[in-house]
Amino acid sequence: MPYKDKEQQKIHDRQYYQENKEKRKAYARKYYQRNKGRVLVHKKQYYAKTKKQMIAYAKLYCQERRKKALRLFGNCCYFCGPKKYKHRLEFHNKNGNLHPDDPNNLILKNPEEWALLCQACHRGVHFCKKHLGIVWDELTTKKASLETIKLS
């Protein structure tokens, strides 16, 4: 029986899904095993048909997230300021962890863990960490000293 109230329908659907989650997963696994060839062919066809659209959307989405992240950090290098290398800004993870391929989502979630640096300063920070053993906190207290260590 359909519900007149949309909220009641949502609550019912959610409850039904939770109660039958395992049954649905088991059915999906069995269906896949019985129709593996058909499913794989359908996936390939669907991907071939929507590939360009999916790539364009992903590119646009990444660009928008990067723009948001750049605006969040003031669109300038932490050490140099807004004057140098404005077109070559990169994000640096302050705790020294490796950078993911697309860190923009993490940056928007945890901006306090990241810093915006120009390419030259970013290389300098990694040089200091790797060869001199200087961590981020020490660098921020000695901003001026990084200028002398910067790699060109």
Which residue type does 96 have?
G
**Does residue 140 have a pLDDT over 80?**
no
Listed ranges 22-36, 61-75, 107-121; the one with the highest mean pLDDT: 22-36
Cβ contacts of 146 within 8 Å, gap of 6 or more: 79, 121, 124, 125, 128, 139
pTM of the model: 0.56
Q: How confident is the model at residue 15 (pLDDT cuts 50, 70, 90)?
A: very high
Q: What pLDDT does 45 receive?
A: 95
Tell me the per-residue pLDDT of 86-95, one tens digit each, with 9 for 90 and over. 668 888 888 7
CA-closest candidate to residue 111, choices 81, 74, 79, 60: 74
